[in-house]
Amino acid sequence: MKLYGAALSPYSARVMLAIRAKGLEIPLVDPPGGQKSAAFLALNPMGKTPVLDADGAVVIESAVICEFLEDAFPDPALLPAQPAARAAQRTVARLLDLYVLPPLLSLMAQTGDSTINAARLDKLTRGLDALEAVVSRTPLPAPAPTTLSLADCALAPTLLFLERFLPRYSQEDLLAKRPALAALWTAYASHPLVTPVAREMERALEAFGQRRG
Ligand SMILES: N[C@@H](CCC(=O)N[C@@H](CS)C(=O)NCC(=O)O)C(=O)O
């Protein structure tokens, strides 16, 4: 198996965390010919990463790839057993996918137009408020050092972006005002599975910054 993706992408990082939490050895590789090549579009017609090549089966969309890994490699489980607790995990992942990551990533691709950037920040703020309310109401269990839940895998790279990268683009300290999310970031920042992925993302950001000049 291999995962087509990029170290800087929070979507790829989410899947890499799930892979490592399950003790799997699946390499992260560049898309063949680039993300918009005919070869890659044949794998994912959206031209987006990550894509899992699961020995011939192609799985796209980071949330679906994580659920595929959970089904294919059930031990260790990254989802709890009870339906309500499973729903809570999936709610976190869905809020991130729909309301947090899109405005966060678009904010980092600054347009120079302050009205557009303010609208993106407003969307991000609303998504984070919803996430803060949900994780305050139904706290996620603290991850053991050797594992992470699927919600942790999705949250950790997003919070890393908010904490380490967003300050380059916005003055707002978005975690300071959200204690439940801030506490989660504190737990992830020193987690043995998260720290190497965070280092890889930071190295990729440095390289990206140098390429942009
Ligand atoms: N919903 C997708 C989003 C993936 C996504 O947006 N990936 C970005 C990398 S961070 C990408 O491939 N962007 C290139 C593009 O949209 O053309 C997922 O969860 O996998």
pLDDT, one tens digit per residue, over 27-48 is 999 999 999 999 999 999 999 9
pLDDT, one tens digit per residue, over 152-178 is 999 999 999 999 888 877 788 899 999
Q: Is 48 near ligand 1, meaning CB less than 6 Å away? A: yes
Cα–Cα dist 160/175, whole Å: 10
- Whole-prediction pTM value? 0.96
User: Helices (DSSP H) in the chain: which residue ranges?
Assistant: 10-21, 38-43, 62-72, 83-95, 101-108, 114-137, 150-160, 179-189, 194-212
CATH number of the domain at 83-212, please? Answer: 1.20.1050.10
* Spans of all domains in the chain: 2-72, 83-212
CATH superfamily name and code, 2-72 = Glutaredoxin (3.40.30.10)
Cα–Cα dist 40/49, whole Å: 10
**φ, ψ for residue 60 (rounded to 5)?**
-115, 165
pLDDT, one tens digit per residue, over 137-152 is 999 999 999 999 999 9
Structure token pair of residue 200: 């890889």
Of 7, 16, 18, residue with least CA distance to 150:
18
Quick one: pLDDT at residue 210? Answer: 75
Quick one: pLDDT at residue 212? Answer: 66
Has residue 99 got a pLDDT over 80?
Answer: yes
Q: Is 44 near ligand 1, meaning CB less than 6 Å away? A: no
Q: Is 11 near ligand 1, meaning CB less than 6 Å away? A: yes
Query: Residue 141 belongs to what H/E stretch?
Result: none
Quick one: pLDDT at residue 203? Answer: 92
Has residue 211 got a pLDDT over 80?
Answer: no
Average pLDDT value for residue range 167-196: 92
- Cα(51) to ligand 1 centroid in Å equals 10
Quick one: pLDDT at residue 82? Answer: 97
Q: Is 12 near ligand 1, meaning CB less than 6 Å away? A: no
Q: Does the bond joining 141 to the residue before it have cis omega, within 30 degrees of 0?
A: no
